[in-house]
Chains A and B, each alone.
Chain A
């Protein structure tokens, strides 16, 4: 089935998510849509699936303009979509999830036996093995993805849209998954795959559309392109940024982690010294989040085993508040979930974590907030970190992503930190702010701070880190010198391949 988006525009408040998009997907092909986070890939495909409605523009299927106002319209027209976050009802069974909305039998009697039989034959046809009677909660992510695929196939989808399908898969599962996609193509299905991983684009797709800032910047045949060209299209300049930095001059050990296990993290040991940046690379979901939250004191003590010491002091039973007091700053990976009080003013946000002690709180027992001191601090952060608009009374919600991030980093830098835990420092941040933030992190290092940096962007960690640890399946798969190691070698470690 041929899909065409013609002049599609979608705006969310002040953000123009899709700006006059024109995308054509030919029938019987695997078509990749690539772009950085926030480029508008998912929005475009959610419009095609009816999850969002476009502000203007048309959707054409087999050269006919179609009204798609809700997913049920898309399903009726033969479109299926597997979302990045699976759309499964967790307490229900595989069969119930697959037939939901397209139930066999009559309105007064659900024929689950026929459904299970249909699903079994479908899963044999496409070699998507899964137990039809299992509850979703009991399945692994890989199996859940198979359920999602079966759901689309059960509805006789001719066009399948897959949003970042490999983000949650291990390399082995990715291979298997790709062979399923090829099988679908050979049966005449059309597949759209949204991703930001160039290697996958080159491995699986027939054609590639590259998006940047809500616009299509190019569509090429996969055979006629290469990773460098796609990367240039994606970020919009020839060379990826490299920040100028002098060699590190590490001092004493600040953070010593030995045999740390917590949730997904399994027996991790490493050190971070004063005046160096230790980077952590890895596919998301390999324990990075848990590692940083454990170091910041945000996970229940009962789940943590192994030792964390800070300048020789055991951090067991030291809560998040005390950790910040002794100089451990934390820039969280998700600024909306953890980092900001979106309805609070910039001034109020600038004291989060130090709100209970002087200078923010003053007087007897430091009970009363000192408005003047708070404003001074807010002004300082706003000025030093160029937060715009520079109005401390504005709610944090009113700022752009980049400015919100600068506010958080500014706040944490004011601590001032002895150890800086910083996760995804530039996620969803505009290019100008990225360079600014990178320079600030290096300046922090040069001032003698120990920095532990986590980023899903390999480019970023290799550019900033003095030493690089690669995390895979909760373990450190290797330590490399980023200036001497190629991306391929690091990539191999990230996916569990041996060095």
Chain B
């Protein structure tokens, strides 16, 4: 990622925080105090940093999921549903095969997360490849279906009798993955930051290698950039749609590893704090690049962690300010063109010949929003 690429996301973040500050001022509180609390608590040691990295973990996964899909010309709004299905599958394997030794059960659970996410995401992929129905609507619809489905399974089949909470039984002890507190001095093990965070970093690196260093990545990006040209280059667009969605879903599914194997050790209904939707913001802010995704996920995690003390220590501002900031970042990143008005005058449009369409601001993305 070139340094210049950081400019627009940074401007978007600055604008979002400025508008956020104005909202705080209107409410009658001090933006300095609010932002001070946000950042201060998120960057304290060990709780602040520990929790921030823990919150960043699912966002890295969902951000990568959305980014890979966008690179392939697909808008995956279904990461939320994919991660629910995956988390449930992870828990199901962890409960059902509780007797297995750790070196078998942990990989098996991880596999369940990845496969469940991939399969759930492949459904809208197949629907698009086979029937041409748009993935945006189908992924949104499948989110609700997924949530209802795992809700049903939890409530009727896997809840411990008498438990008033919508959650499954615990997974086998051998399925737990280590919390990082075990390895890092000064970081207490009560902080749920776990090995899944390292997995997220590895996944980011793997996504980078996949997209830019392998022929598969070439095909994903080529399809996203210009499907007709990709087809001309001997790439099957239909196959590519399904494969890209499956990879995207697999990444979203890894949220289940963090949640089930590293944190709650069970499936807990409604655990996701909009991770799937925030993933869209993370991917956009990170310009669909794995390194950018990690940075953006950290920023959003800081906000999430910082929201708690804002609630407690300010007079009027509630922690919902965090969601406002996230939304503003999405809107400013989406409306990136507003930062380009000066560039336009000097560089102009890259118009070659008659009838050539201008490239959309985010590569490969506009094309996918065609017929919904």
- Per-residue A-contact encoding for B174-211, CB less than 8 Å = 1, 0 else: 00000000000000000000000000000000000000
> How far apart sit A13 and B358, CA to CA, in the bound complex (Å)?
11
> How far apart sit A337 and B357, CA to CA, in the bound complex (Å)?
10
> How far apart sit A272 and B352, CA to CA, in the bound complex (Å)?
34
Q: Is the CB of B232 within 8 A of A330?
A: yes
A338 located at the interface, meaning its Cβ lies under 8 Å from any Cβ of chain B in the complex: yes
- Closest A residue, CB atoms, query B356: A336
> How far apart sit A404 and B350, CA to CA, in the bound complex (Å)?
14
Tell me how far the C-beta of A214 lies from the nearest C-beta in chain B, rounded to whole angstroms. Answer: 12
Q: Is the CB of B218 within 8 A of A340?
A: no
Q: Is the CB of B226 within 8 A of A340?
A: yes
Given A12-B349, A368-B214, A428-B353, A341 contacting B228 (CB threshold 8 A): no
> How far apart sit A347 and B182, CA to CA, in the bound complex (Å)?
47
Chain A neighbourhood of B218, CB < 8 A: 348, 351, 355-356, 369
> Can you give 23 contacting A-B residue pairs, CB < 8 Å?
A13-B349, A13-B351, A38-B353, A38-B354, A42-B354, A298-B231, A320-B234, A337-B226, A337-B228, A339-B229, A339-B232, A341-B222, A341-B225, A341-B229, A352-B232, A352-B233, A353-B234, A355-B219, A356-B219, A356-B234, A360-B215, A361-B214, A368-B213
Chain A neighbourhood of B215, CB < 8 A: 355-356, 360-361, 366-369
Task: List B residues 348-372 near A (Cβ within 8 Å).
Answer: 348-354, 356, 359, 363
- Per-residue B-contact encoding for A366-405, CB less than 8 Å = 1, 0 else: 1111000000000000000000000000000110110010
> How far apart sit A12 and B213, CA to CA, in the bound complex (Å)?
35
- Per-residue B-contact encoding for A151-174, CB less than 8 Å = 1, 0 else: 000000000000000000000000
> How far apart sit A351 and B359, CA to CA, in the bound complex (Å)?
22
> How far apart sit A82 and B36, CA to CA, in the bound complex (Å)?
62
Tell me how far the C-beta of B150 lies from the nearest C-beta in chain A, rounded to whole angstroms. Answer: 35
SS class, residues of chain A in contact with chain B: mixed
Residue of B219, B228, B229, B236 with highest tally of chain A CB at under 10 A: B229
- Per-residue A-contact encoding for B123-156, CB less than 8 Å = 1, 0 else: 0000000000000000000000000000000000
Tell me how far the C-beta of A341 lies from the nearest C-beta in chain B, rounded to whole angstroms. Answer: 5
Chain B neighbourhood of A361, CB < 8 A: 214-215
Show the binding face of B for A, using Cβ within 8 Å: 212-216, 218-219, 221-222, 225-226, 228-236, 347-354, 356, 359, 363
Chain B neighbourhood of A38, CB < 8 A: 353-354
Tell me how far the C-beta of B106 lies from the nearest C-beta in chain A, rounded to whole angstroms. Answer: 27
Chain B neighbourhood of A322, CB < 8 A: 234
A15 located at the interface, meaning its Cβ lies under 8 Å from any Cβ of chain B in the complex: yes
A344 located at the interface, meaning its Cβ lies under 8 Å from any Cβ of chain B in the complex: yes
A319 located at the interface, meaning its Cβ lies under 8 Å from any Cβ of chain B in the complex: yes
- Closest B residue, CB atoms, query A399: B352
A-B contacts besides A321-B234, A366-B215, A401-B353, 17 pairs, CB < 8 Å: A11-B348, A13-B347, A13-B349, A15-B352, A320-B232, A342-B226, A342-B359, A343-B363, A351-B218, A352-B229, A353-B234, A356-B219, A367-B214, A368-B214, A369-B218, A401-B352, A404-B352
Q: Is the CB of B349 within 8 A of A342?
A: no
> How far apart sit A360 and B222, CA to CA, in the bound complex (Å)?
15
Among the listed A13, A352, A397, A428, which residue makes an inter-chain contact with B222, where contact means beta carbons less than 8 Å apart? A352
Chain B neighbourhood of A398, CB < 8 A: 350
Task: List A residues 104-122 near B (Cβ within 8 Å).
Answer: none
Among the listed A319, A338, A400, A428, which residue makes an inter-chain contact with B232, where contact means beta carbons less than 8 Å apart? A338
Q: Is the CB of A344 within 8 A of B222?
A: yes
> How far apart sit A428 and B233, CA to CA, in the bound complex (Å)?
23
A332 located at the interface, meaning its Cβ lies under 8 Å from any Cβ of chain B in the complex: yes
Q: Is the CB of A397 within 8 A of B359?
A: yes
Tell me how far the C-beta of A10 lies from the nearest C-beta in chain B, rounded to whole angstroms. Answer: 11
> How far apart sit A42 and B353, CA to CA, in the bound complex (Å)?
11
Tell me how far the C-beta of A150 lies from the nearest C-beta in chain B, rounded to whole angstroms. Answer: 25
A222 located at the interface, meaning its Cβ lies under 8 Å from any Cβ of chain B in the complex: no
A324 located at the interface, meaning its Cβ lies under 8 Å from any Cβ of chain B in the complex: yes
